[in-house]
Amino acid sequence: MAEKNDMIKEVIPAHGITFRDEVLPGDRDAVRSIVTSSGFFSEEEIDIAVELVDERLAGGEKSGYYFIFAEIGGTIAGYSSYGPIACTKNSYDLYWIAVDEKFRGGRIGTELLKISEKSIALKGGRRIYVETSSRSQYEPTRKFYEKRGYFLEAEIKDFYDLHDSKQIYTRVISVSR
């Protein structure tokens, strides 16, 4: 049975954007399309994004993967995916936050992040971790997180490839119930 979260309602009514946390079978194709539209990710990375949707559809909440989808007029414009980090008490990974190229620049990513943070806090999360690449094409991604209160916690040199380090951003959030 799909999980519903009453806190996720129409957040930006002026723009006709609604948000939902229920994962539907059709979301597989939407996630593939959104992640592909960025032009940043390899086919393997795109497959991993879709695999998280599959895991959630197969295992429900027990999968440990949570999603927020932003819709405009019935079209999925963006999404976020996150989950608790195994063997920690209150730490979460933000796996994906992506907005379709056609909808970028309209604050959808910012709203997805805010709603994801609120959902994580309601689940007892206190720290959020985001991994990204040090490659120059990811500079806008790093700036996005920095502007929203995330800071560079660690860098693992040459993690993805030579001259492509893993950068781990974090943010401490307050738990408000």
Single pTM value for the model? 0.88
CATH class of 13-172: alpha beta
For 145-161, give one letter per residue: b (16+ CB within 10 A) or e: beeeebeeeeeeeeeee
Hey, where are the domains in the chain? 13-172
Residue 7 is predicted with a pLDDT of: 45
Residue 8 is predicted with a pLDDT of: 45
Residue-by-residue pLDDT tens, the chain, 177 positions: 334 444 444 445 546 899 999 999 999 999 999 999 988 888 999 999 999 999 999 999 999 999 999 999 989 999 999 999 999 999 999 999 999 999 988 899 999 999 999 999 999 999 999 999 999 989 999 999 999 999 999 999 999 999 999 999 999 998 654
Residue 16 is predicted with a pLDDT of: 83
Residue 15 is predicted with a pLDDT of: 65
